[in-house]
Chain A
Amino acid sequence: MKHLLILGAGTAGTMMANHLRHNLKEDDWEISIIDEKEEHHYQPGYLFLPFDIYQPEDIVKSIAEFIPKGVSLIKNKIERIIPAENKVAMKTGEMLEYDVLIIATGAKIAPEETTGMQGAEWQKSVFDFYTFEGSLALRNKLREWQGGKLVIHITEMPIKCPVAPLEFAFLADSYFKHKHMRDKVDITFVTPLSGAFTKPKATAALDHLLQEKNIHIVSDFAIEQVDNDNKKIIDYGGQEVPFDLLVTVPTNKGDALMERSGLGDDLNYVPTNKATLQSKDYENIFVLGDASNVPASKAGSVAHFEAEILTENILLYIGGQPLKAEFDGHANCFIETGNGKALLIDFNYTHEPVEGTFPFPGVGPLRLLKESRMNHMGKLAFRWIYWNVLLKGTHIPFVSANMQEAGKHF
C-alpha cells in the first residue's frame, strides 16, 4: 500500500483529494489530507462581508463536508516536512511517511512585515479584509463610520486575488452611495505598482471607471511605515498619504512551515516548475495553489485549472512516465465594479486580459473586460458553483484547463 499525503485542506488541497480518490484504486493508494483548522472558508466572500452583502454563514462550512469517502482527514498541526526521508513530522510528535506529497498550504497575510501596521490603530482605524476576523471587524466599523478619508492600500506584490483591493474600492463607492454619504467619503487607492491598472489593454478599457467613481490613485508607493499617531502611511521616497480609515492588504507570505522545512523562498513560497507543478527540488513533491512560486495569479480559479493538470501529471509520475501535462497559467476571474455590475477576465502566463466573448467564441454569453449585470450574476452564482461543483473536482463544462484563444481580441 502506497501513501499519498496532501498538506492543506483549502481550495487546492480539497480539489486534489477529490480528483485523486476518483483516479487511484483504494487497494493500492491510501490518501490522507492534513489541516489544523476545522472550517473551510470561501475566501472570495471576504470581499463582500464588510459591505453586508454576504453574512458569515454564507462563507463558512466545515472542512470535513468536502473531503471524499476513502480519504482520511487528519486534524493536526504540521511541524516540519523532511523531504530527504519522505516524512512529515506533526506538532504532536507523530511521523507520517509518504510516497507522493502534495503541498497546498496556501498564503496568508503578514502585517508584521511592515513597521507600525499592527500598531495602536490596528482594527481601530487600520484594517485588513484578507482574513475572516479582519473582514468582520471592518464590517462593524463601516456600519458606524461617519465618513472621511478612506485609503485602500496594497503593501507589495504578489498578493492573493490581485484585483480584490480594486474591487473593494469600487464596492466602497457603491456602498457609500447607497448610504447617501458618498459626499462625505474621499476614496484613495494606493499601490506599489505604476497604476491601478498595469496592463495596456485593461488600462485602455477600464481607466474611465476610476474617474466615474471618483477614486484617486497614488501609484509607485512603496510603504515604509504606518504612522499611528498622525494617521498616515509613509513610503521610502518620503511620500505621505493621510487616512481616517486605512484598509490595507499586508505582505502575503506562504506558510511558515516552508521556512521550518527549508523548502521556501524568501516569502515562503515553494519553488515549483510552472508548467508541470512539480517541486524544483524533489521529484515526489508537487505544489499547487497559492503555496507555489509560479508566476500565475494566486486565485481559486488558478488552483482549479492547476488541479486538473496536476492530477494528470501525478498519474503519469506514479506510472513511471514523463510528466507531460503543461499548465499555462490560466486564470478566470469575475471582478465586481459596484452598482450590481462586474467584469470578467480570462488570461494566462503569456496573454494579458483582453475584450471578447466567453466561454463560446463569438457568442458569449459573457463579455470579457466589459462591465455588465450578467457578469455580476456570474460572480454571485459562483459561490454556489464553488461549494457544489468546484471543490468536488468536477470539471466545469465548456471551461478548459488551458486558456482558449478563440473569441478574444488580441
Chain B
Amino acid sequence: MEKLIAGTTVTVNEEGYLTNFAQWNEAVGEALAAEANVVLTPRHWQVINYLQLQHKSNLPLSIRQIGKSNVVDIKEFYQLFPNGPLKISTKIAGIPKPASCL
C-alpha cells in the first residue's frame, strides 16, 4: 500500500515497513521515528546507518550481533529504541524487520 510521509509517497507493507529502500531518505526516517515516538539524535543515526549497511550487504540482523558491532552496546541500543529495539530501529531505517520464514 502507498503512504504519504514527509512529502514523499512510499510503499509500505501491512505493518508499515518500507518495501523499497530506494524510497527512503532522512526526512522519511525522521517522520517514521516521530510516529514511533523516538526523537533522533546523532547516536540514533549512527545505529541506523549501521543497520542499513548490514542490510545492503545481505547480512542478517540480531541484537547480539549489533552488540558486537562496536557501534552501540546492547544496553544503549535498548535505551535508544525502547521496547523492541530491533523492530523499531529497522522500521525507521526503512529496511525489513528481522523475520523467520513464517
Residues of A within 8 A of B (CB): 113, 156-158, 162-163, 166, 192-194, 197-200, 202, 206, 219-220, 222, 224, 236-237, 251, 265-267, 274, 293, 295, 297, 331, 333, 335, 345, 347, 353
Contact B74–A236 (Cβ < 8 Å):
yes
Note all chain A residues with C-beta closer than 8 A to B62.
156-157, 192
Contact B102–A197 (Cβ < 8 Å):
yes
Note all chain A residues with C-beta closer than 8 A to B101.
162-163, 199, 297, 331, 333, 345, 347, 353
Distance to closest chain A CB from B16 (angstroms): 11
**In the complex, which of the residues A200, A237, A297, A353 has the most CB atoms of chain B within 10 Å of its own CB atom?**
A237
Which residue of B has the minimal Cβ distance to A265? B59
Q: Using an 8 Å CB-CB cutoff, how does the interface string of B74-102 with A read, 1 for contact, 0 for none?
A: 11011000111011000000000111111
Distance to closest chain B CB from A397 (angstroms): 24
Roughly how many angstroms separate A280 CA and B2 CA in the complex, as a whole number? 37
Contact B102–A222 (Cβ < 8 Å):
no
Extra inter-chain contacts (18) besides given A265-B59, A293-B58, CB under 8 Å: A113-B64, A157-B100, A158-B60, A162-B100, A163-B100, A193-B99, A193-B100, A194-B97, A198-B98, A206-B102, A219-B84, A220-B83, A222-B86, A236-B77, A266-B65, A267-B65, A347-B101, A353-B101
In-complex Cβ contact of A157 among B60, B83, B102 (8 A): B60
5 A-B pairs with the lowest CB-CB distances in the bound complex, closest first: A220-B84, A222-B63, A198-B99, A202-B102, A156-B62
Note all chain B residues with C-beta closer than 8 A to A265.
59
Q: Is the interface of B mostly helix, strand, loop or mixed?
A: loop
Note all chain A residues with C-beta closer than 8 A to B15.
200
Which residue of B has the minimal Cβ distance to A224? B74
Which residue of B has the minimal Cβ distance to A293? B59
Contact A236–B65 (Cβ < 8 Å):
no
Which residue of B has the minimal Cβ distance to A347? B101
In-complex Cβ contact of A274 among B58, B98, B99 (8 A): B58
Note all chain B residues with C-beta closer than 8 A to A200.
13-15
Contact B64–A251 (Cβ < 8 Å):
yes
- Interface check B56, CB cutoff 8 A: no
Which residue of A has the minimal Cβ distance to B57? A271
Note all chain B residues with C-beta closer than 8 A to A295.
58, 60
Note all chain B residues with C-beta closer than 8 A to A156.
62-65
Roughly how many angstroms separate A163 CA and B100 CA in the complex, as a whole number? 8
Note all chain B residues with C-beta closer than 8 A to A274.
58
Distance to closest chain B CB from A337 (angstroms): 12
Contact B102–A237 (Cβ < 8 Å):
no
Distance to closest chain B CB from A154 (angstroms): 9
**In the complex, which of the residues B15, B60, B82, B102 has the most CB atoms of chain A within 10 Å of its own CB atom?**
B102
Which residue of A has the minimal Cβ distance to B97? A194
Which residue of A has the minimal Cβ distance to B15? A200
Contact B78–A198 (Cβ < 8 Å):
no
Distance to closest chain B CB from A249 (angstroms): 12
With known contacts A156-B63, A163-B100, A222-B63, A236–B75 Cβ distance under 8 A? yes
Q: Using an 8 Å CB-CB cutoff, how does the interface string of B21-59 with A read, 1 for contact, 0 for none?
A: 000000000000000000000000000000000000011
Distance to closest chain A CB from B57 (angstroms): 9
13 A-B pairs in the complex with CB atoms less than 8 angstroms apart? A156-B63, A157-B98, A162-B101, A197-B100, A198-B98, A199-B99, A200-B13, A222-B86, A236-B63, A236-B74, A237-B83, A266-B65, A266-B68
Roughly how many angstroms separate A358 CA and B53 CA in the complex, as a whole number? 37
Note all chain B residues with C-beta closer than 8 A to A353.
101-102
Note all chain B residues with C-beta closer than 8 A to A197.
100, 102
Distance to closest chain A CB from B80 (angstroms): 12
Contact B98–A193 (Cβ < 8 Å):
yes
Roughly how many angstroms separate A113 CA and B82 CA in the complex, as a whole number? 24
Note all chain B residues with C-beta closer than 8 A to A162.
100-102
Which residue of A has the minimal Cβ distance to B13? A200
Note all chain A residues with C-beta closer than 8 A to B97.
194, 198
Note all chain A residues with C-beta closer than 8 A to B74.
222, 224, 236
Distance to closest chain A CB from B97 (angstroms): 6
Roughly how many angstroms separate A346 CA and B23 CA in the complex, as a whole number? 29
Which residue of A has the minimal Cβ distance to B90? A194
Note all chain A residues with C-beta closer than 8 A to B99.
193, 198-199
Roughly how many angstroms separate A163 CA and B82 CA in the complex, as a whole number? 27
Note all chain B residues with C-beta closer than 8 A to A347.
101
Which residue of B has the minimal Cβ distance to A161? B101
Which residue of B has the minimal Cβ distance to A198? B99
